[in-house]
Structure 1
């Protein structure tokens, strides 16, 4: 799972456990694993066909899912993936993580772009309440869709408990398994152009030239969109032997790889939140991240902020962490403190409150 999925799972698990008096109807468009979430107050329903294309989105939300929700006489409908039903009369709470499709339309297919551009204004009007994950995203929604400010609530994410600092011996075991025993910089996220991995590779080249270290770069994330160009460039990349593409990692593996990293380097062009920043901080791993979109808001003063368009600047901060243990330790301490300010329990409670508010309005 990535951002949307993690947020939804963490919030649902807590709401279901905290409110046994409420009944939760979970709609799936494909077979699910029972390990995702189970409880006596959950009713899971498979609603085919799988919605994986704009036309199927429309049919699934406006026809198939709407029928099921009406049949169950739901009080409120939580829509965590940025879409909602335009035909249902049941109050809906819409989750919009970000408006990346407006800022970087080049990174999604034309038909997805057309769907988002055409229907998002209608979704915003239809929703009784809107939840987003950062003040940056809230301001962005207000700017583009002119909806009442009181309709939008900022409820940020948090970090799962498994992301924790690791003892030196365990770190070395991870480094032996993934990086030939060497220290490594880490990037976490899907492999697609918005994540700015080409500039990360350029920055890593500068770092290697300046420092002549045996440091590696680990990239942990699924191949998501337009990744072929990156893979081709890595084939001829001077330091390709020091770049490790990990593709899919289990939750436990990701936690361990994060905790053993020398630093997280996160030069994404655009994020609605940027959860890997907090995950690294909670593990006691210093962070270099972009100074754009929501990332300064999430990182606060606990990360080294850089211009994602400047590989030189990214490399200089990588170098400052490598050469100056005092700077590195200071940002480790700041990051650990920053991570304590985010809590899934608080997030779930706020989402539940928003759902109750929307149900009363309806």
Structure 2
């Protein structure tokens, strides 16, 4: 059996890297292909770990998410603690599901590091609260890419960026994919869908747009809120549900700016709902009852919320940047994310053009079928084997 050690310090993150890790590892563990896995946690996990997967607790003073919030940075002592614990695993290969939580491994051992995107390099002023945070990020990424045996990423768009921006040769990069969890599927229980709307104060018959994701500035949610003025002028009953952590905790965001903008006029104030984080069951129901997911991001490495929406048969009003055209395909309509007018025009078109949403819904389901965690796990194993083969050739 090939023993793979895994950095699991992002396991507790609600979405993003946490969801990626929590979905990929079970898919890997379910494959009977000669691999076994041990997860290395900084602190004891509160979320379930797949059966048959080993668990080791390094015992860091702070979790990775806490240590990397706001203007903070992960402490050197915690990095050493994780590195020493990883060395003691004595695995054949060590896997970092996100360069975000990378730490140096004090051992000559093959490693695979997943660089999800180059958003921090594209938009440092939107991602980091201080220049120092960006410099620390650059140092970490440089060390990670230099020490990685193979580099993994999650889309063709990201792979091109890794070569163009981070100067990682394309022959060192392996591309995998993501998938939506099974709960994200078309729903037919009208009462269940109605309850989801009622729970969040959304009228049953109102046209509904949903935003799902984080509130870092590159997510461009402020432009979506700005676009609501024009959307409401043409389709006055429209509601916008903004779903995600809005407490301002963990990462540098502009939640307060978003709330202020939403409250700036009476029409938007009555039409925009901040739901906060919600569970997957309610989230799937909300996506099923929505006319569209709106994804105004300036750049994405993959765009999992878009895939989750399309898996429910919900079209995506999508930015035309980064990986989103690759993921959304013909399952939505596109706009320039720098233009509130372009966003509003596509939303109005989807909400008013007869038959358009039904056509896009069918396209969305067909496009979503091209993705899946099983496929992602198969491609991940290939990346591991590439790294091990390279080690054998040294």
Write the mapping of 1:237-276 to structure 2, written as runs, cut at 5 A: 237-238=265-266, 239-276=268-305
SS at match of 1:337: helix
Q: Which residue of 2 aligns with 1:201?
A: 225
* TM-score, normalising length: structure 1: 0.93
How far did 1:331 drift?
A: 0.6
SS of alignment partner, residue 388 of structure 2: helix
Provide the aligned C-alpha RMSD in A: 1.9
Which has the larger displacement, 184-193 or 115-124? Answer: 115-124
1:222 aligns with 2:235: no
SS, match of residue 268 in structure 1: coil
Farther-moved stretch of structure 1 (303-312 vs 230-239): 230-239
Change (3 A) 1:20 1:36: farther
Q: Tell me the distance in 1 between the aligned counterparts of 2:226 and 2:90.
A: 55
Instruction: Give the stretch that moved more between structures: 185-194 or 41-50.
Output: 41-50
1:210 is matched with 234
Aligned match for 2:185, one of 140, 160, 164: 164
Alignment coverage as a number of residue pairs? 359
Alignment-derived partner of residue 314 in structure 2: 285
Equivalent residue runs for 1:68-87 within 5 Å: 68-82=85-99, 83-85=102-104, 87=106
* TM-superposition CA deviations, 1:304-332 (whole Å, max 9, x none): 01001111111111111111131111111
2:377 to 348, 353, 362: 348
* TM-aligned CA deviation for residue 21 of structure 1: 5.1
Q: Whole-Å Cα distance in 2 between the matches of residues 170 and 190 of structure 1? A: 26
What is the aligned partner in structure 2 of residue 150 from structure 1?
Answer: 171
Q: How far 1:136 sits from its partner (Å)?
A: 1.0
Residue-by-residue CA offset, 1:238-274 (whole Å, 9 max, x unaligned): 3211110011111222122112111111111111111
- Identify if the C-alpha distance between structure 1 residues 103 and 210 changes in structure 2 by more than 3 Å, giving closer, same or farther: same
Q: Would you say 1:88 and 2:107 are equivalent positions?
A: yes
Unaligned runs of 5+ in 1: none
2:144 corresponds, among 104, 123, 144, to 123
1:8 is displaced (CA, Å) by 1.0
2:165 is paired with a residue of what secondary structure?
A: helix
CA contact (8 A) 1:188 1:219 kept: yes
**How far did residue 57 of structure 1 move?**
5.4
Aligned to 1:236: 264
